[in-house]
Chains A and B, each alone.
Chain A
């Protein structure tokens, strides 16, 4: 990632801020809130020209760039980043669950440009039960991360060749990384049937 705005005063910790500028609010965390700043570049302009309103936001936080895109355009944006912008490598795909939101699942693709050493996070929100489009046609390596997201969050991917659970047992019920899945929760029936014990807890 381009390490440009590293060490901005708003990003400083309470301690360093207090040491350098006594006027700065020393109250922890909430007071000194660094905000994402808009990310302007020819790449973003190009994407905005191609996808218009579907590019919801382009911002930089802590020196790292990210795009917020509409779920319907996520695959097309990734394809364009890969094919015309040099972001040839999909470093990672993961998800974050925000249960209170209307579209609770945020998928995060991290794409990487090996020539310029730049990284972009592409984020899109999905509703419960909404299918995301698989990126396995773009990157072979998207296969397992997508299976993992399906396994642990329950987000399905359309066009995935083999969408099965990967870390949890195949007949487990529930998706453990959802926020409403309590840490001690387990598939009691599965545990009793397969492990022959009353409870794993």
Chain B
């Protein structure tokens, strides 16, 4: 789309209508075939400050453009002016519905630079907390996505159950949302005395709860009509856009960083990677629901095999990773979360690049939504499961 539209907006209203008059004398604004509609940045279903400019012919979307950057805080610039350890809490603010995952990705990458060995117990603890975080993140996705499409009740179910997970985070590290759960070299805290029992209780409890979500949503006729065949993306396009996470798997490609390049002892656990067939919103919904079940499986195994020992490696107080660069990635709830880091051997990072799954996946919104209806755009934004903190950084 050209810049013309934005220049138009510099005109006053009367000038704008005059300019229309010049193009099509005798016609009013409403007669034009296509209208441009601004959705957001303050819109409840854009999940944050995302602005989508739609070119509409009636209800049909003929063109679409995402305008992002409203939440740009310069996180990557901040990193260059903090020490390696000081930057740890900042990454929680990327994907704030899955702060634990961000923290894991960051710590693993710095550990890779340091060539530090993380104790086995810390790796297992990390897996337990990250999978809990995946459950919590998927519950936010489920609640809000279904709400966007018009079902109010599941939101309360999902948030009710998410509460139990946040309580565990709170007991573990004192924070519920921006947890800063991990430190470079391991975990700051060992599991609190009752943690294993409480997490196991969540696992026992959540299985039937997921069935409950399924019973509420899956067979619902309105839900089916609003999701089946909506927001289709082919496997080829997924690869062309480098889409990862449940969106990729929904299109039938069985790829998950946890299996492809296992980190933090994921190779020890037995779990499946669910995939969809049709690459539409409904399949992505099924994939995420099944992922939640698999997360429970992983947590159970990690709890069972939780080894004894220290939870943090002995590292110097002042971290100075040797000069060099690495890229390391993890499977965050939204997709592949990667960090590219350059160290110049000093206390501060020379460069930290975050490869946010939401940013990369959101790029495909245009491909998925053009040709569909306005109401489907809402469904597609929901199914991409984006978090603007991560898109804009």
Contacts and interface: CB of A to CB of B under 8 A. Distances in A.
B174 to A, nearest CB: 28
A167 B393 contact: yes
B228 to A, nearest CB: 25
B320 A29 contact: yes
Interface string B2-45: 01001000000000000000000000000000000000000000
A7 B316 CA distance: 18
Contacts of A90: 242
A88 interface: yes
A12 B321 CA distance: 11
Interface in B242-258: 242-243, 253, 255
A123 to B, nearest CB: 9
A140 B37 CA distance: 25
A140 B241 contact: yes
Given A34-B115, A89-B242, A177-B76, A168 B69 contact: yes
B140 interface: no
Interface residues of B, number: 58
Contact of A13 (B241, B243, B253, B315): B315
B237 A34 contact: no
A167 B69 CA distance: 4
B392 interface: yes
A167 B345 CA distance: 30
A117 B260 contact: yes
- Which residue among A89, A170, A177 has the maximum number of chain B CB atoms within 10 Å of its CB? A89
Contacts of B314: 15
A78 B261 CA distance: 23
B239 A64 contact: no
Nearest to B345: A29
A132 B114 CA distance: 32
Given A28-B320, A92-B355, A167-B69, A62 B242 contact: no
B242 A117 contact: no
Contacts of B318: 28
A119 B336 CA distance: 13
A69 to B, nearest CB: 16
B242 A141 contact: yes
A152 B340 CA distance: 16
A56 interface: no
B323 interface: yes
Contact of A34 (B80, B81, B261, B322): B322
Given A29-B345, A144-B360, A168-B69, A183 B340 contact: no
A114 B327 contact: no
A145 B155 CA distance: 34
A141 B241 contact: yes
Contacts of B392: 167
B242 A7 contact: no
Nearest to A179: B80
A91 B342 CA distance: 17
Nearest to A98: B350
Contacts of A170: 6
B209 interface: no
A169 B69 contact: yes
B83 to A, nearest CB: 13
Contacts of B253: 114
B316 to A, nearest CB: 6
B323 A33 contact: yes
Contacts of B261: 1, 3, 117
B48 to A, nearest CB: 14
B240 A141 contact: yes
A144 B255 contact: no
Given A62-B113, A94-B340, A96-B342, A29 B324 contact: no
B176 interface: no
A14 interface: yes
Given A15-B315, A34-B115, A94-B353, A61 B393 contact: no
Contacts of A183: 77-78, 80-81
A-B pairs, top 9 by smallest CB distance, nearest first, are A11-B115, A29-B320, A141-B241, A167-B69, A141-B242, A94-B353, A92-B355, A140-B240, A167-B72
Given A11-B115, A13-B114, A94-B355, 10 more contacts: A15-B316, A29-B320, A32-B322, A91-B242, A114-B260, A140-B237, A141-B240, A152-B76, A167-B68, A167-B69
24 contacts: A3-B261, A8-B115, A13-B115, A13-B116, A15-B315, A30-B320, A32-B322, A33-B323, A34-B115, A61-B325, A62-B112, A62-B326, A92-B338, A92-B340, A94-B355, A110-B355, A117-B261, A119-B327, A121-B327, A139-B240, A140-B240, A141-B363, A167-B392, A167-B393
